[in-house]
């Protein structure tokens, strides 16, 4: 049965996909079954080579809320997240990955929170970890219910407490996203994005387990630490290494503070904290220099990952 989307939808659910045929149907079904139906589901296919396109087209025919777009080339995971935002024209955006799934009341609860409090820019639920077959493996505490009025305190709380990055898959205000630099072209760019969002509003955690995050061999969080695998997933399919990745990771935080509405004194205090974190991460920063500076001058760089 075809469902006609509202003329003025309040929410875009944006789904970046790539070779996602195994779990895509389950993920889409969980979204279309939401008790809050005032949304459009925008799917951006990152030049998949499996049956992903056919699955997406089937849902386009079944439900008028579903829109399908395809990138001519693979632009990497973060590039595809940004592409979804380009296709968003609603008050709220909820990014959604193709292998995870959601409880039916997730969207309704998040919209209620955001509509009631304009100071909240991100609303997310609690997380259940599941395996490739959808079986529960554990429950995860995100610890980022950030309702402080001070943006600097929220920013520091993100950097100090974030581990698994589930929060950008909650409901977000698009006008706040526009004030950020969105997702950078480096591994773990999602952390930088979440930290930057905290400078523009509060984070609200719904105290319900509504997000089912799937860990399996093809998920983006599987086998973290494999540099080539991370580069391919986050940047582009044919990339073996993101040059100066650790520097880009730290620069994302500094750039967020630099362009934020914070006053000069608070900015300087945050730069001081960020400088300390760079010092603690000095081995990986030095590793980037050894690997990536020599190629600039035509020499082969080091290729061994530093010990943690």
Bridge partners of 202? Answer: 120
Q: According to the model, what pLDDT value does residue 294 have?
A: 75
Domains identified in the chain and CATH numbers: 11-214 (3.90.550.10), 245-294 (no CATH)
CA distance 69 to 78: 16
Cα torsion 109, 191, 278, 176: sign: negative
CA distance 15 to 55: 13
Q: According to the model, what pLDDT value does residue 300 have?
A: 59
CA distance 85 to 160: 27
**What tens-digit pLDDT sequence spans the chain (308 residues)?**
344 445 579 999 999 999 999 999 999 999 999 999 999 999 999 999 999 999 999 999 999 999 999 999 999 999 999 999 999 999 999 999 999 999 999 999 999 999 999 999 999 999 999 998 889 999 999 889 999 999 999 999 999 999 899 999 999 999 999 999 999 988 899 999 999 999 999 999 999 999 999 986 665 554 445 555 555 455 555 666 788 999 999 999 999 999 999 999 999 999 999 999 999 999 999 999 999 887 666 665 555 445 44
Q: According to the model, what pLDDT value does residue 227 have?
A: 54
Structure tokens at 270: 């945050």
**Within 13 A of 112's CA, how many CA atoms are on the CB side?**
10
User: Contact at 8 Å (CB) between 235 and 188?
Assistant: no
Alpha-helix residue ranges (DSSP H) falling in 72-201: 77-86, 106-116, 151-161, 174-177, 189-198
Contacts of 5 (CB under 8 A, 6+ apart): 39, 40, 64, 65
Alpha-helix residue ranges (DSSP H) falling in 147-244: 151-161, 174-177, 189-198, 227-234
Q: According to the model, what pLDDT value does residue 132 have?
A: 87
CA distance 157 to 167: 13
Q: According to the model, what pLDDT value does residue 38 have?
A: 94
Cα-based angle 300, 302, 303 (whole degrees, multiple of 5): 110
């Amino acid at each position: 049965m075809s469902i006609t989307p509202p003329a003025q939808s309040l929410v875009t659910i944006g789904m970046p996909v790539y070779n996602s045929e195994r779990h895509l149907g389950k993920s889409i079904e969980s979204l279309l079954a939401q008790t809050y139906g005032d949304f459009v589901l925008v799917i951006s296919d990152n030049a998949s080579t499996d049956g992903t396109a056919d699955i997406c087209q089937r849902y386009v025919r079944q439900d008028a809320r579903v829109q399908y777009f395809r990138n001519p080339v693979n632009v990497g995971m973060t590039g595809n997240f940004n592409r979804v935002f380009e296709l968003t024209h609603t008050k709220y955006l909820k990014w959604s990955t193709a292998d995870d799934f959601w409880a039916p009341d997730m969207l309704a609860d998040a919209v209620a929170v955001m509509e009631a409090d304009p100071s909240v820019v991100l609303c997310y639920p609690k997380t259940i970890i599941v395996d490739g077959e959808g079986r529960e493996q554990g429950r995860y505490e995100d610890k980022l219910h950030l309702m402080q009025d001070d943006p600097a305190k929220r920013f520091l709380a993100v950097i100090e407490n974030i581990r698994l990055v589930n929060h950008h898959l909650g409901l977000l205000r698009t006008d706040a996203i526009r004030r950020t630099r969105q997702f950078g072209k480096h591994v773990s760019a999602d952390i930088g994005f979440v930290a930057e969002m905290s400078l523009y509003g509060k984070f609200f955690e719904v105290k319900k387990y509504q997000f089912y995050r799937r860990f399996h061999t093809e998920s983006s969080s599987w086998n973290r630490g494999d540099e080539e695998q991370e580069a391919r997933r986050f940047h582009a399919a044919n990339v073996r290494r993101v040059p100066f990745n650790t520097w880009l990771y730290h620069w994302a935080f500094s750039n967020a503070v630099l362009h934020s509405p914070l006053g000069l004194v608070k900015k300087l205090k945050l730069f001081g904290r960020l400088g300390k974190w760079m010092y603690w991460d000095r081995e990986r920063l030095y590793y980037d220099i050894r690997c990536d500076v020599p190629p600039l001058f035509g020499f082969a760089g080091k290729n061994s990952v530093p010990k943690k």
